[in-house]
Amino acid sequence: MAIPFSSLLLAFYFLSLTSAKISTLVGINYGQLGNNLPPPPDSVDLIKSLNAQIVKIYDVNPQILKSLNNSDIKVSVMVPNDLIINISSNQNLADHWVRTNILPFYPQIKIRYLLVGNEIISSTGNQTWISLVPAMRRIKRSLKIYGIHKVKVGSSSAMDILQSSFPPSNGTFRADISDRVMKPMLQFLNRTKSFFFLDVYPFFPWASDPVNIKLDYALFESKNITYSDPGSGLTYTNLFDQMVDSVIFAMKRLGYPDIRVFISETGWPNGGDYDQIGANIHNAAVYNRNIVKRVTAKPPVGTPARPGWVLPTIIFSLYNENQKPGLGTERHFGLLYPNRSAVYEMDLSGKTPEADFKPLPAAETNEPFKGKIWCMVSRGANKSEVAGALAWACLQGNKTCEPIQKGGPCYEPDSLIRHASFAFSSYWAQFRKVGGTCYFNGLATQTIKDPSYGKCMFPSVTLQG
């Protein structure tokens, strides 16, 4: 039967309205790994000031959810990784979790997304992997039991789910998870019309190969740098699109070409350690402003593999979180400092012209640091924890602590902080190339001021650039 042209126009009009509404869905990840963060009511006010349309939290924190009461902000909540195995085999437990954590806040709080776990392939073992989709099914069933129909269930994945990501058309899921985890997950997402939630950080592949990957290409700033995928014939103008499309092609390879992608995390660090390149306020502002501008464009831009598709996106993160483990960049992704001030100006609606923002500081870390770096005990570190970390470092071998033994050149003065600083520097200098870090659960920090004295020479890491 022929469809009247007027009906087609009407359908297109409503489709355009819907697409425009979805395309402006940009939000903020509200992490809580800090001991100096503002309380939830203040944080929600700050989230509103950033014009966020969605907030993602990594739990079901009742104080945060209560602070979002009767707000227009959509909310994504999370089942913690350590509950996945138990929920996967126990419908009563799934029902109890939903009844306790979702029902008291729904529908007055616009909970729209429920993620089962966070990057579980990166951070958990095989048993959790195979329990993921069964847990997602049970949570979805629980929502249905309690009459909750507007919540999409999914699970966020990092890029390490891929075995091959280059060129994008060669995107392939890892062999150890492809059939056991990814295929059942895609089947679930397809059946429930949910999203594939993906965490995409161009900073990391760029920082690992800044010679061959140009910074402007990673920051959406390239004017004449393109990459043509020989497999698909598609042309890329930025690294973000390449990363997203590699996952889209991997899904297509398993028979699911049309599942929508939701960028559950993306961002760029505003600071980091001395041995980390490109982590600065300038680059962070440029990247985040550009990604917001891109995903709020009307009509939607999409990616080369999916032109015109909307791409809901959540920026990481609200605050610099001082208790996040790992390299220094991990604690420097915030749009705000814990004292509530802006690291740089940001409008998540994408409506503020670039000219209206204050000038950014120069990007001072775009070239590798050249010189020596030491690892020292952080100011104010807990002394009993420092003593434990000192003992651990000394047990790692290679005569790490020989100079601070009695009679050694670094024994005097007999100070816990001096001895631990020597041990931290010695450990880091020896083991950095095999993954050792200057962190020690937040007890250590890098310095470029030589702590050596007299005959006591502290080992250092030397960067040649």
In the residue annotation, 119 being an active-site residue is answered as: yes
Q: Are 437 and 326 in contact (CB under 8 A)?
A: yes
Catalytic residue selected from 265, 345, 364, 402: 265
Residue 193 has which token pair? Answer: 């019309």
**Which amino acid does the sequence have at 365?**
T
Using CA atoms of 96, 98, 265, 339 in order, give the dihedral in degrees to the nearest 10: -90
Specify whether the CB–CB gap between 288 and 27 falls below 8 A. Answer: no
Residue of 315, 188, 260 whose CA lies nearest to 22? 260
> Residue 357 corresponds to which tokens in the numbers above?
């923002």
Give the Cα separation of 282 and 321 in Å (integer). Answer: 19
User: For residue 38, what are the contacts with CB-CB under 8 A and spacing of at least 6?
Assistant: 46, 338, 340
Residue 223 CB burial class (10 angstroms; 0-12, 13-18, ≥19): exposed
How is 413-462 classified by DSSP, letter by letter?
A: S--HHHHHHHHHHHHHHHHGGGT--S-TTTTEEEESS---BTTB----EE
Cα 148 to Cα 140: distance, rounded to the nearest angstrom? 9
Residue 376, CA distances (Å) to 105, 145, 152, 386, 416 in order:
46, 55, 46, 11, 12
Query: Two tokens at 259?
Result: 């599942």
Task: Please return the burial class of 246, using the count of CB atoms within 10 Å of its CB with bins 0-12, 13-18 and 19+.
Answer: buried
Q: Are 444 and 426 in contact (CB under 8 A)?
A: no
354 a catalytic residue:
no
Catalytic residue numbers read: 119, 265
